[in-house]
Amino acid sequence: GSALIPLFRGSALIPLFRDSALIPLFRNSALIPLFRGSALIPLFRGSALIPLFRNSALIPLFRGSALIPLFRGSAWIPLFRGSALIPLCRSSALIPQFRDSALILLFRGSAWIPLFRGSALIPLCRSSALIPQFRGSAWISLFRGSALIPLFRGSAWIPLFKGSALIPLFRGSALISLFRGSALILLFRGSALIPLFRGSALIPLFRGSALIPLFKGSALIPLFRGSAWIPLFRGSALIPLCRSSALIPQFRDSALILLFRGSAWIPLFRGSALIPLCRSSALIPQFRGSAWISLFRGSALIPLFRGSAWIPLFRGNALIPLFRGSALIPLGSALILLFRGSALIPLFRGSALIPLFKGSALIPLFKGSALIPLFRGSALIPLFKGSALIPLFKGSALIPLFRGSALIPLFRGSALIPLFKGSALIPLFKGSALIPLFRGSALIPLFRGSALIPLFKGSALIPLFRGSALIPLFKGSALIPLFKGSALIPLFRGSALIPLFKGSALIPLFKEAVL
């Protein structure tokens, strides 16, 4: 429970854990549930308790089956992130534990992702001691089994495949059959294997004739629909493969047409090396022809614009006249859905389209309920980050849009979080126009989510609370329950917010009986 948290934080109780008499207590099943809760997380973060794990007496505790479920939760993530505990994983005593079948299940959860993401733990996977384990025949069967397959779906193993030592493993004939199996095909749909194809060592694998038939098979076609293959086409080494005449007929095939509907091909058109392919005179007539015009009007090609892959296409000056023509104008409601996808993001970033939002004709569009869901997606996030669109929020015309209840859920998503972190949007909150928005009860639940927590941790937003305009907001009874939650607790621990409570204006707020 949270009541025991302060006890472990005190320096007086820390030496108690160093005593060997308390070690058997952790082996008792009664104390095991204590570690399952997230309340004890700060305990292991302290530098005083870190040496306790280095003791060889605690090593057998991790080998027991009772403590294994403790690592499955996401509460232990910060423990492995600390630089002090990293050398513990490098110890040779812990290596045999990973070979145990009971610990294999621990890697299935997404909680261990930050562990492998850290730069300190990356060398552990690249070490020569662990490499032979993947080369052995024992591990090969594990990759074929359904138990280890989900491990590659996560983004945690990305640095592992980036190492040059593991690259030869894919060149062996033993792993080739794995990619042909239907079980491993799903692995390529995730974004975890993206860095694998970025390496220059694996590029020649695609040039070989052995992999060519794999792309022709119907089973691998859905793989291109995912966003995992994006970095593959970004590399300069693979660009000539797309220019080859052998792949041209494949794009004309009806089976590959569906591939463009997904957002996976976004980086393909974004790269400067592939841009000339779309701008080339050979492809331009295809868009200008009457045959393509009907395709844009049809429902089949409309989803293509929802993805961000076609961004560089519209940036080119050759395609710009297409939108100016009257032929594409009558597309109407069918094209409205295109703005929901992340594909047209860079289109609005250009200085040519910026004046469109400044006009009074487009202002009513944001007030309509049809365009409201567009801001929920992460695609429009970069638009607000640009300095060109920032002045739009300073105008009084867009201010009422945030007061509506339709846009309130937009701030709950994690996609808009980076917008508030930028220094460009900070002055907007200092203005008196946006202050009443936080006083409304509709926006109050937004602060309860953990997504907005980092916003208050930044030093840029701290001065906002010092102003007298925001002080009355905390006096309201609606915001009081927000401080009762554990999410906002770390905000008050920082030294940056301490001076705020020293002021006489905020002191009476904590003296209220409700708190």
Instruction: For residue range 60-76, list pLDDT tens digits in order.
Output: 666 555 555 656 555 56
- In order, the DSSP letters of 249-309 are HHHHSHHHHGGGGSGGGHHHHHSTTTHHHHHSTTTHHHHHSHHHHHHHHSTTTGGGGGSGG
Q: Greater confidence, 513 or 465?
A: 465
Confidence category of residue 14, pLDDT binned at 50, 70, 90 = low
Integer Cα distance of 252 and 254 in angstroms: 6
pLDDT at 362: 41
Tens-place pLDDT, residues 419-448: 566 555 556 566 555 556 666 555 666 566
Q: Does position 454 have pLDDT exceeding 60, yes or no?
A: yes
Residue 2: count other Cβ atoms within 10 Å of its Cβ: 11
Q: Greater confidence, 477 or 228?
A: 477
Which residue, among 79, 61, 70, has the nearest Cα to 25 in the 3D structure? 61
Q: Does position 478 have pLDDT exceeding 60, yes or no?
A: no
Confidence category of residue 276, pLDDT binned at 50, 70, 90 = very low
**Contact partners, residue 79, CB within 8 Å, separation at least 6:** 41, 44, 45, 85
Q: Does position 209 have pLDDT exceeding 50, yes or no?
A: no
Q: Token match 């006083």: residue?
A: 439
pLDDT at 443: 60
> How far are the Cα atoms of 237, 357, 434, 462 from residue 92, in angstroms, in the given order?
40, 61, 57, 46
Distance of CA 449 to the CA centre of its chain: 17
**Contact partners, residue 343, CB within 8 Å, separation at least 6:** 263, 266, 305, 306, 307, 308, 309, 310, 311, 379
Tens-place pLDDT, residues 390-401: 555 555 455 555
Task: Flag the least confident range among 86-100, 193-207, 254-268.
Answer: 254-268
Task: Flag the least confident range among 61-75, 115-129, 259-273, 444-458.
Answer: 259-273
Pair 223, 188: CB distance under 8 Å: yes
Integer Cα distance of 198 and 230 in angstroms: 10
CA atoms within 13 A on the CB side of 445: 7
Pair 100, 137: CB distance under 8 Å: no
Which residue, among 40, 51, 47, has the nearest Cα to 8 in the 3D structure? 40
**Contact partners, residue 513, CB within 8 Å, separation at least 6:** none
Which residue, among 217, 200, 133, has the nearest Cα to 164 in the 3D structure? 200
Q: Does position 474 have pLDDT exceeding 60, yes or no?
A: yes
pLDDT at 483: 60
Q: Does position 296 have pLDDT exceeding 60, yes or no?
A: no
pLDDT at 399: 54
Q: Does position 31 have pLDDT exceeding 50, yes or no?
A: yes
Pair 426, 390: CB distance under 8 Å: no
Q: Average pLDDT of 103-117? A: 45
Tens-place pLDDT, residues 215-228: 444 444 444 444 44
Which residue, among 39, 41, 51, has the nearest Cα to 14 in the 3D structure? 51
| Residues, the chain | 515
Q: pLDDT > 70: what percent of the chain? A: 0
Which residue, among 434, 447, 499, has the nearest Cα to 476 in the 3D structure? 447
Integer Cα distance of 298 and 291 in angstroms: 11
pLDDT at 206: 46
User: Crossing angle for the helix pair 173-180 and 137-144, nearest 10 degrees?
Assistant: 10
Q: What value does the CA radius of gyration of the chain take, rounded to a whole number of Å?
A: 28
Candidate ranges 39-48, 175-184, 218-227; pick with highest mean pLDDT: 39-48
Element housing 190 (H / E)? none
For 335-366, give one letter per residue: b (16+ CB within 10 A) or e: beebbbbbbbbbbbbeeeebeebeeeeeeeeb
> How far are the Cα atoms of 85, 121, 166, 411, 499 from residue 127, in angstroms, in the given order?
18, 10, 10, 43, 47
Confidence category of residue 33, pLDDT binned at 50, 70, 90 = low
Q: Does position 79 have pLDDT exceeding 50, yes or no?
A: yes
Q: Does position 190 have pLDDT exceeding 60, yes or no?
A: no
Pair 130, 122: CB distance under 8 Å: no
Integer Cα distance of 89 and 158 in angstroms: 19
pLDDT at 205: 43
**Contact partners, residue 324, CB within 8 Å, separation at least 6:** none
Q: Token match 């841009």: residue?
A: 275
pLDDT at 439: 60
Q: Does position 465 have pLDDT exceeding 60, yes or no?
A: yes
Tens-place pLDDT, residues 352-370: 444 434 443 344 445 444 4
Annotate 121-171 with three-state secondary structure.
CHHHHHCCCCHHHHHCHHHHHHHHCCCCHHHHHCHHHHHHHHCCCCHHHHH
Q: Does position 121 have pLDDT exceeding 60, yes or no?
A: no
For residue 102, count CB atoms less than 10 angstroms from its CB and return exposed for 0-12, middle for 13-18, buried for 19 or more: exposed
Query: Angle 227-228-233 (CA atoms, 0-180°, nearest 5)?
Result: 90
Task: Flag the least confident range among 325-334, 411-420, 467-476.
Answer: 325-334
Distance of CA 186 to the CA centre of its chain: 20
Q: How far apart are the first and last CA of the chain?
A: 21
pLDDT at 337: 40
Q: pLDDT > 90: what percent of the chain? A: 0
